[in-house]
Structure 1
Amino acid sequence: MADSPWVVNVSAENFHQIVVDGSRERPVVIDFWAPWCGPCRRLAPMLERLAVEKDGGFLLAKVNTDENQELAQSFQVEGIPAVFAIRDGKIADQFTGVLPEEQLREFIDSLGPAAPAADAEPSPLDRALELEGRDPSAAAESYRAMLAATPDDPAARVGLARVLLATPGREQEAAPLLTGLEFGDFAPEAQRLHTLVTLRDVPHADADLTAAQRVVGAEGKLALAKVLAARGDYPAALDALLAAADDDRQLGRTTVRELMLKIFEVIGPQSEQAGDYRRRLQALLY
């Protein structure tokens, strides 16, 4: 892959930020590829060379379909290489296969220039996203204002739910915001947040943690893992789940595995941490 800030690998974990949000600043070209695909190896150097040449005119987002099958399915990719151009969060153009370089240049040029960064007025969503990191209360108000104008705005519903889930004691307020978002650009993040709501449903105050730490045996370790996951201490929760599976292999194949999958969904199914614990559980059980 070209050593350029305009060529990046994308997974389900960072897709929304890099592709959907990023496409509001400049066109994003998604290259669905696989290591075994010969045509992919012919197309990739041309795309990467154009990304370097255009120097920010567009961002090339490379998606390995072997590692990100759900993303490929969400775009209904049936053959690779498959290329999608995204502008303002929507598909602007697409093709499958390998184009001659001249036609590939025409494809890229048709997307137009990147949005001017200096003078562009940030959208309400951009402002709310920026506020999330430094002023969650203000971010929540921005999202509520967006919902007042457009009650079904999925970006505002997901954003407000994310802020509420980051605020202690507000978890249950987030749940209604996430209903009915099973499809569309915001479905993966909505599902992740819904799973987070489910994990947080377990009582997890300090007293609950102390009580769970006193229980012995596989069931006790499973109960401790649930409390730790509800508190957001995912490494400790995953360690407790491995210990429970070591004590009771049948429990490991059922309830332990189910809870691990929920945690993986929150931290990123393709993340290095999820892969490590997935391998360790498989080695323990099989």
Structure 2
Amino acid sequence: MSEFAFDASLADFEAKVLQPSLEVPVVVDFWAPWCGPCQTLKPMLEKLAEEYAGRFLLAKVNSDENPEIAQHFGVRSIPSVKVLYQGQLVDEFNGALPEGQVRAFLDRIALPPAGGNLRQEAAELLAAGQPEAALAKLVEASQQTPDDEAVRLDAAEVLMQLGRNDEAKQLLAAEYPQQADRAAGLRARLALAEGAADTAPLEEKIAANPDDHAVRLELSRAYAAQGRFRDALEAALEVVRRDRFFEQGAGRQALLNLFEALSGEQHDDLVREFRRKLSATLN
């Protein structure tokens, strides 16, 4: 049993949940052994509780064994997640959400990490078009919290935006056990960036011969290398639309590669949009 994630019952709910919630947000996960989605969400929350290392606590309540608690919090279906802070219910969600959405939820309610303000300042600088200044903030944050994988991955992403791919590759060569999916996505995006090319000649070739699928896939890779991800996805999808069997499904594989490279909260909406389009095209 972890110090950050534990079972709670009616007998110890006040001691394990209500009292700690005066100091730190407590995420209460209502689950049951027969609930399939619970078996997906519960281990995810346990993993994230370890990763966030005390920025929130996770109390797991078996709703079958503790119907009084479930009734008190108005739980009608499971999994159901409630957040208590300073003794009050402050947020909640129902169902087994994807990890990216769960992380976004936790980032809203969790206590700021050490160095968290610097990371937020870096994000604001990046949004304002100041990547060099953002990188400097991330370096400072990493010096304060060298084990913060999210900060190091933020820095790798900024380095890629600055075209400093060799430095980004060196940073991404490390292990990221707590942020494995995001690290894999950034490595895949870095691989795409290495295929940078001038798109104009490729666009001219496609204009002359719209059925040149090999050139269109090359154009998709070139768009991705330039960070034009929507254009890259659209070009690969057009290959699927025109000939889904071209080179044993190369268009579909190009889309799957792009989905991996764009994994992460920032591009979730774009990936979802093109997953739907791919499904509609294939069906």
TM bin (shorter chain):
0.5 to 0.7
Q: Structure 1 residue 198 and structure 2 residue 198: aligned?
A: no
Offset at residue 221 of structure 1 (A): 0.9
Give me the whole-angstrom Cα distance separating, in 2, the residues matched to 1:222 and 1:244. Answer: 7
Which residue in 1 is equivalent to 2:276?
279
Mapped contact 1:27–1:85 kept (Cα < 8 A): no
Mapped contact 2:237–2:255 kept (Cα < 8 A): no
Which residue in 2 is equivalent to 1:45?
none
Q: Structure 1 residue 175 and structure 2 residue 169: aligned?
A: yes
Residues 154 and 277 (structure 1), Cα distance of their counterparts in 2 relative to 1, 3 Å cut: closer
- SS at the partner of 1:29? strand
CA deviation vs aligned residue, 1:170-217 (integer Å, no higher than 9, x gap): 233212212333421x2232222222212211114xxx1112112341
Mapped contact 2:28–2:82 kept (Cα < 8 A): no
TM-score (ref. length: structure 1): 0.58
Mapped contact 1:146–1:156 kept (Cα < 8 A): yes
Residues 264 and 32 (structure 1), Cα distance of their counterparts in 2 relative to 1, 3 Å cut: farther
Residues 90 and 253 (structure 1), Cα distance of their counterparts in 2 relative to 1, 3 Å cut: farther
Residues 273 and 247 (structure 1), Cα distance of their counterparts in 2 relative to 1, 3 Å cut: same
The equivalent position to 1:260 in structure 2, one of 255, 258, 262, is: 255
The equivalent position to 1:220 in structure 2, one of 206, 215, 222, is: 215
Residues 65 and 191 (structure 1), Cα distance of their counterparts in 2 relative to 1, 3 Å cut: farther
Which residue in 2 is equivalent to 1:52?
none
Mapped contact 2:26–2:58 kept (Cα < 8 A): no
Give me the whole-angstrom Cα distance separating, in 2, the residues matched to 1:121 and 1:218. Answer: 48
Residues 277 and 154 (structure 1), Cα distance of their counterparts in 2 relative to 1, 3 Å cut: closer
Structure 1's unaligned 5+ residue stretches are: 1-24, 41-63, 115-119
Residues 123 and 156 (structure 1), Cα distance of their counterparts in 2 relative to 1, 3 Å cut: same
Offset at residue 279 of structure 1 (A): 3.5
TM-score (ref. length: structure 2): 0.59
Which residue in 1 is equivalent to 2:180?
187
Give me the whole-angstrom Cα distance separating, in 1, the residues matched to 2:48 and 2:189. Answer: 31
Structure 2's unaligned 5+ residue stretches are: 1-22, 74-80, 89-110
Which residue in 2 is equivalent to 1:243?
238
The equivalent position to 2:27 in structure 1, one of 26, 29, 39, is: 29
Residues 282 and 252 (structure 1), Cα distance of their counterparts in 2 relative to 1, 3 Å cut: farther
- 4+ residue runs over 6 A deviation: 37-40, 82-85, 103-111
Give me the whole-angstrom Cα distance separating, in 1, the residues matched to 2:219 and 2:149. Answer: 35
- SS at the partner of 2:159? helix
Offset at residue 97 of structure 1 (A): 2.9
CA RMSD of aligned residues (A): 4.4
